Amino acid sequence: MITNENRSVVILGASGNLALTKLLPSLYTLYTSGALPQNFAISGYARTEMSVDKYREIVKTNLLNNIEETLLVDSFVQEFLKSIYYFSGSYDSVDDFTNLHAGLEKIHEKFPCKPTVLYYLSIPPSVFEPVIHSLRECGAIEKGDTSKSVIVEKPFGYDTESAKALNKTLDQTFDESQIYRIDHYLGKEAIMNLMVMRFANLIFEPVWNRNYIDSITVSWEEDKNIGSRGGYFDKAGIIRDVIQNHLLQILALVAMEKPSSYESDSIMAEKNKAVKSIQQVTLDDCVLGQYISGVCGGKPVIGYTDEDSVPDGSNRETFAKIKCAINNTRWSGVPFYLQAGKALTKSTTEIIIQFKEVPGDIFKSPHHPNKLVIEVQPDAGIKFFITNKVPGKGMVLKDVKLDFSYDDGFNKAMPGAYERLILDAIQGDKTLFINYEELIHSWEIFTPILEKIDSGNANVFKYHAGTNGPDEASEL
Ligand code: NDP
Ligand code: BG6
């Protein structure tokens, strides 16, 4: 729906991977679907010096590489590119930010009235604080002025204390109502469907508890190696990169109680409670791994420590399986396994709800307890494994699968997570963003083990790239 409002999006870190491959393609898709207002501008800012034309050329190449061909109408692409601007400067220079601010004011003069401005921090975590400081000092932001807001990318800090410190810096500049802490997994269709599946279907609630469920696994695998991302990844590791945020958010949606309404505050309150009930994990609850050379997706892959971007001898974990416990009436005694790894056999994300055995089984034929598998990606869907009689003589049982796929069920393209979340932030809807309290709880769960891993006091088992991770993981 095109509106007469005026919007300006400013991407800090505009020369980077996220900005070019996800954010700008998502903004283009929103533009083609008519979701952006009539008057909008997108301005990029980064240290790399280049002209606006050069930046538009780079954006165009990335649109061509990252967007479905049917959406790439030349006239739309040309119009979209006209709304894009680029500024260069340092992240810690107030003077450079003053120039950016002046440049934006000039762009905004073309609009019938002052636009709302959304700043997107698409930068490495090490520059979050200088950027927020520069934004404040150059006078671009006024605390409490809701016509200016900010999206902050993950990882938000690297442990509990740094997350609190970063929040303090944010709090000096923005009011909480102006801050959007993003976790793009919350914008994925299959994740958004979790609450619908649980709370809009009668059959799940009675069995969604410790009496019927044996274990829950959230599994995230990628068949890609670290490549050039070692500079960031070696300081983070897989727990900070994926488990503390994406997987924990999934766990919260699986474990939470029903909110009193589908309103941002009610949902956040229930998610907070669920995350707060998760016990701190210890190294005894973890199996960690690091890949050595192997074959991923048919291609030979060098070992993690052989990557140019990774320091020699690094002990950083590229795989982790963590057993979490939730201390509440619904989940006490049910293990939740969070498992994630780079350079594994395939790229998938799924949630496995393993039900208990039927008590007092009367059939002699072996069969397995029920299992519900929610597939998040690459092909979103829901599979339910039930036991059936094999047709014919005798009583032979077999596990069969009820299979729903989004492709067959809806036959329409799945909107991208960033598309959805950027639009929500533009429209001021915080339902799918993370609040501070929840974020701090999520760091508290992992900070004790992260400190031990960072100081080299954890066992990290080796696994060959292209396998399922270290053998020790199956023993947890
Ligand atoms: P990049 O490594 O591509 O960095 C983004 C930009 O920041 C670069 O183009 C560079 O621009 C600048 N930059 C890079 N390193 C430094 C440094 N050490 N000091 C100062 N500036 C630097 O990161 P991504 O775009 O991949 O990610 C940006 C943020 O988004 C990160 O917080 C990441 O965790 C998060 N994220 C990324 C995802 C992705 O798919 N890429 C997915 C989810 C979250 P220049 O040198 O021109 O200033
Ligand atoms: C990012 C991580 O947050 O999520 C990356 O930094 C990871 O390491 C990516 O590859 C995965 O996102 P998606 O949407 O491709 O599953």
For residues 225 and 342, what is the distance between their CA atoms, to the nearest angstrom? 6
**Which CATH superfamily is 188-359+436-475 part of?**
Dihydrodipicolinate Reductase; domain 2 (3.30.360.10)
Q: State pTM to two decimals.
A: 0.94
pLDDT at residue 297, rounded to an integer:
83
Residue 289 has pLDDT above 60, yes or no: yes
pLDDT attached to residue 4: 54
pLDDT at site 2? 45
Q: Domain spans of the chain?
A: 6-182, 188-359+436-475
- Give the DSSP H/E element, type plus range, for residue 171: helix 160-173
Ligand 1 pocket: which of 97, 122, 233, 239 to mutate (most atoms within 8 A of CB): 122
pLDDT over 90 (residue 374): yes
Q: What is the pLDDT of residues 62-89, one digit of tens each?
A: 999 999 888 899 999 999 999 999 999 9
> Which CA distances in Å does 142 have to 25, 97, 136, 148, 228?
30, 15, 7, 8, 37
Q: Pairing state of beta strands 348-355 and 371-377? A: antiparallel
The answer to whether the CB of 187 is under 6 A from ligand 1 is no
Of the candidates 101, 108, 184, 246, the residue annotated as catalytic is 246
- CATH says 6-182 is which class? alpha beta
Using alpha carbons only, give the angle 441, 167, 131 rounded to the nearest 5 degrees.
140
Within 6 A (CB) of ligand 2 lie 222, 241-242
In this structure, which residue's CA is closest to atom 10 in ligand 2?
Answer: 222
Residue 464 confidence (pLDDT):
98
Find residue 460's DSSP bridge partners: 288
367 given a catalytic annotation: no
Mean of per-residue pLDDT scores for the chain: 95
Q: How confident is the model at residue 470 (pLDDT cuts 50, 70, 90)?
A: very high
Give 1's pLDDT tier (boundaries 50, 70, 90): very low
Give residue-wise pLDDT tens across range 424-439: 999 999 999 999 999 9
Q: What is the CA radius of gyration of the chain?
A: 24
189, pLDDT greater than 50? yes
Identify the nearest ligand to the CA of 156 by its number: 1
Q: Is the CB of 46 under 6 A from ligand 1?
A: yes
Ligand 1 centroid to 233 CA: how many Å? 11
What SS3 state is found at 50? coil
Nearest to 186 by CA among 450, 434, 412, 432: 432
Which ligand lies nearest to the CA atom of residue 127 in the structure? 1
Domains 6-182 and 188-359+436-475 share a fold: no
Look at ligand 1, atom 42, and give the residue with the nearest C-alpha.
18
Q: What is the Å distance from ligand 1's center to 127 Cα? A: 9
Q: Is 154 in the pocket of ligand 1 (CB under 6 A)?
A: yes
Whole-number Å distance between alpha carbons of 320 and 283 = 11
Q: To test ligand 2's pocket by mutation, which of 222, 296, 350, 420 has the most ligand atoms within 8 angstroms of CB?
A: 222
